[in-house]
Every structure is written in structure tokens, then in C-alpha cells.
Amino acid sequence: MEYLALAYNWFLAAHLIFVVFWMAGLFMLPRYLVYHQEAIAAGRTEEAALWVTREAKIRHIILTPAIVVVWVLGITLATLGHHWAEGWLGAKLVFVVGLSGYHGWGVGYARKLAAGRPSLDGKTLRMLNEIPALGVTVIVILAVIKPF
């Protein structure tokens, strides 16, 4: 029993570390998209090409590995802690799935920009940049306070 408690704490620490990595990537990617789109709009093709490379690196080095580890460790923690029936976890998962969808949207939009097909304006991209902050705020409150 003591071993499981110790393992749980290590899994929790790792989960939180990778959540920080994932959130860092989710905060950076939309800014990259804004700068990339502005380069396209201004006809700065060399700069736009650099943003394609930067976006690919952030996806491959930070975002994709982090989201995979966050999900694996989150499922592990929910199982080890017997949290599946708890209301706060269900609510938290709704927001985590939402952020995962946002992650997918960002990756998709980066690919769209790489193909030279922007479809949003800079103001909209800047507004969308706030989604991870709102999502992680609710997630932290649900996971720490466990209101239900």
C-alpha cells in the first residue's frame, strides 16, 4: 500500500511537469501562428518559411510528446487513485478534452498556414490565444479544490 502511495506521488509530479510543458507549447503556438500569418499577409515569404519550421519544432519537440505523456499519466493517476467515479474528474476531463481539441486545431491551422491558406484574422488568433489560460485555470481549480 505504501508503495502505491509513493508511486502515485511520483506519477502526479511527472503529470504536473508535463502539463506545464504542454501549456507552454499551447501558449506559444498561437503566437507563432499570429506572426506566421502576418508574414504571409505582408508577403514576407522567407520569414513565413521560418515560421513553418518553428511551428513544426514546437509540435514535435514540446506539444506532441507532452500531450501524450499528460494523457497517459492522467489515466494512470485516475486509475491508481480510484477517481473515475468522482464528479470533479469528469468535469476536468471535459476541459482536458477541450484543450486537446484546441491543440489539434492549432496543429491543423499551422499546417493550413504552411500551405499558404490563412482563414482567420490576427485579432481572432490573438483572442484564441486566451483559451489555454482559461482552460488550465478551470482544470487546476477542479483538480485541487475538487468542488464535487
Q: Which residues are annotated as a binding site for heme?
A: 15, 92
- Rounded to an integer, what distance in angstroms lies between the CA atom of residue 69 and that of residue 113? 27
Can you say which residues are annotated as belonging to the binding site?
A: 15, 92
73-80 CB contacts, 8 Å cutoff, 24+ apart: 73/11, 73/14, 73/15, 73/18, 74/15, 76/11, 77/8, 77/11, 77/12, 77/15, 80/4, 80/7, 80/8, 80/11
